[in-house]
Structure 1
């Protein structure tokens, strides 16, 4: 994209994007402009290549608008990105991404807000209230909802559940786990700046917080 158009584009974006949202503009391969906000800063610099897994990358790949929650492994902090590619004659000319902090998500995007998830065991299906879910795990492509009454299979992947679970109640703490923060009894320090979460069930189940998610986990809980 012609960089002389950036101020004009940003002026138009500023009229529809709320304060506290960062803006990134890519020419398809690399970022040509980045405007951080007070709410979230991905530390992007003009000339940086578009990172695999980012909202911009996803939009460039499918050549259409993408709204996606992005894990902390991509930029070091999780965020919600809305990316819109500008396509001319079948080719992406530029891509504009609005970057929201997860705390801003409920106010700026429409997302599912179910009161329960459906779990399955050998007897059939069971609606499970969100507050009854202690944690969610994934192993070999199988997602499990863990409650005080038992564990139940669920059809969604963890990536899909990232858009469904209440973001003020569940936090990603590991590539294989989401935890209900209301179910945490105690946070134990572990090696290499990681943690073990002791839950409130009778078994005092322990769920790991990996190094990749430790920073965003601490930010979410404020310690």
Structure 2
């Protein structure tokens, strides 16, 4: 896409894209323009390569419009992207992506999400209410729900849980951890601008916040 067309394109889409939506414009491989919103910011810079797994990447691969939920591993925060590529005679000229926060998905009303997850221990299975879960961890491909009363295995991967759990209650802070925001007791500074979260379980478990998630975590909690 010719860079000189970007201002004209933005003028057009500005009339149809609501406030709170970020906009990214790319050619066939890298971003040409990015406009963050006050609601969600992926920290994209012009010249950055379009990463595999992003909504833009998916649209470029399929050469068609896509609506794609993207996990936080791609940009550090999860988002929902609506991407539309410009294809001319079978050649991709560029792509424009509208970026929404997960809680503002432009989708039809969905069935209410579960208020519990199933945990398994040596005695069997039991429903665990979400408010009972202090944090969730993953180790060697297995997922564990940690509560005040014990630890239970769960069948979902962390990537799957990212689409199931309410984002206003559970936050991914590390590739191997989710935390219940209401169960954070204290935040300890750690090396290289990262943090350790002291949880409100009987062991006062410390859960790491990695560099990948530290910026979005601080933005979410406001410190």
What TM-score, normalized by structure 1, do the two folds share? 0.81
Residues 1:107 and 2:108 are matched in the alignment: no
Tell me if the contact between 1:137 and 1:177 (Cα under 8 Å) persists in the aligned partners. Answer: yes
Q: Secondary structure at the match of 1:57?
A: helix
Q: Name the residue aligned to 1:119.
A: 119
SS at match of 2:57: helix
Structure 1: how far apart are the matches of 2:63 and 2:142?
A: 30
Q: d(CA) in 2 for partners of 1:44 and 1:189? A: 26
Aligned residues: 218
Decide whether the 8 Å contact of 1:69 with 1:163 is kept in 2: no
Q: Which residue of 2 aligns with 1:78?
A: 77
- RMSD (CA atoms): 2.7
Q: Which residue of the partner structure matches residue 19 of structure 1?
A: 19
Flag structure 1 segments of 5+ consecutive residues without an equivalent.
none
Q: Which runs of 5+ in 2 are unaligned?
A: none
Cα deviation code 1:64-120 (max 9, x no counterpart): 51422342x644x524131324356665443221123x4xx3233457632112222
Mean alpha-carbon deviation: is it higher for 161-170 or for 189-198?
189-198
Shift of 1:138: 0.7
The aligned residue for residue 70 of structure 2 is 69
Residue 213 of structure 2 is aligned to residue 216 of structure 1: no
Gap change, CA 1:38 and 1:138, over 3 Å in 2: same
- Answer yes or no: is the 8 Å Cα contact 1:85–1:92 preserved in 2: no
Determine the structure 2 residue equivalent to 1:183.
183
Distance 1:45 1:201, change over 3 A: closer
Shift of 1:130: 1.0
Change in Cα spacing, 1:194 to 1:38, as seen in structure 2 (3 Å) is closer
134-143 vs 22-31, which moves further: 22-31
With over 3 angstroms needed to count, the CA separation of the structure-2 counterparts of 1:160 and 1:85, relative to structure 1, is: same
Equivalent in the alignment of 2:30: 30
Go from structure 1 to structure 2 and tell me whether the alpha carbon gap of 1:5 and 1:191 turns closer, same or farther (over 3 Å shift).
Answer: closer
Q: What TM-score, normalized to structure 2?
A: 0.81
Measured at CA, do residues 16 and 163 of structure 1 come closer, stay the same or move farther in structure 2, by a change above 3 Å?
farther
